[in-house]
């Protein structure tokens, strides 16, 4: 339906989705990409909450959530919706729940987090 649209995806999407993407990046990276890219239509595979920010930053462009009908909600993480500011505050205040991570897993898990922060910090 939108042959000229660019397909952008968050790196946490499934591999099959990422293989089809014209751009893969963090939420901030995707926002910057849509602002700087001359394309006018984007199909966005990530949390649907970013669409409002994209529309605000680029009012002349069209942003289509993937899947477009939102009946599936494949692009919305149900676990993220469980987080609230109050829960984050209480977690920080009481330092609970404590999560124990194997040191080898920690080192491997830290690499993509650092990379994502590096990518999102680029102008």
CATH number, residue 94? 3.40.50.10800
Q: How many domains does the chain have?
A: 1
The answer to the question of residue 1 being in a domain is no
Per the structure block, which two tokens stand in for 84?
A: 């609230």
Helix extents (H) in the chain: 15-20, 27-36, 50-57, 85-94, 103-121
The answer to the question of residue 92 being in a domain is yes
pLDDT, residue 73, reads: 53
pLDDT, residue 37, reads: 97
Tokens 């977690």 belong to residue: 91
Closest to 41 measured CA to CA, from 21, 68, 62:
62
Closest to 24 measured CA to CA, from 9, 39, 45:
9
pLDDT, residue 48, reads: 79
CB-CB neighbours of 19 under 10 Å:
10
Per-residue pLDDT of the chain (123 residues; tens, 9 = 90+): 899 999 999 888 888 888 999 999 988 899 999 999 999 999 999 887 889 999 999 999 999 998 755 455 556 666 667 888 999 999 999 999 988 889 889 988 898 888 888 877 766
pLDDT, residue 21, reads: 94
What range defines the domain where residue 87 resides?
6-121
Provide the pairing of β-strand 41-45 with 23-24: unpaired
Closest to 23 measured CA to CA, from 15, 34, 14, 12:
34
Q: How far does CA 105 lie from the centroid of its chain?
A: 23
The answer to the question of residue 32 being in a domain is yes
pLDDT, residue 54, reads: 96
């Amino acid at each position: 339906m939108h042959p000229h649209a660019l397909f952008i995806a968050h790196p946490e999407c499934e591999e099959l989705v990422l293989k089809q993407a014209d751009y893969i990046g963090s939420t901030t990276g995707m926002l910057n990409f849509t602002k700087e890219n001359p394309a006018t239509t984007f199909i966005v595979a990530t949390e649907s909450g970013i669409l409002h920010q994209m529309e605000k930053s680029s009012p002349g462009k069209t942003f289509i959530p993937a899947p477009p009908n939102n009946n599936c909600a494949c692009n919305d993480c149900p676990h993220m919706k469980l987080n609230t500011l109050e829960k984050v505050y209480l977690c920080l205040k009481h330092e609970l729940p404590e999560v124990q991570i194997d040191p080898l897993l920690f080192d491997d898990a830290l690499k993509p987090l650092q990379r994502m922060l590096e990518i999102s910090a680029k102008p």
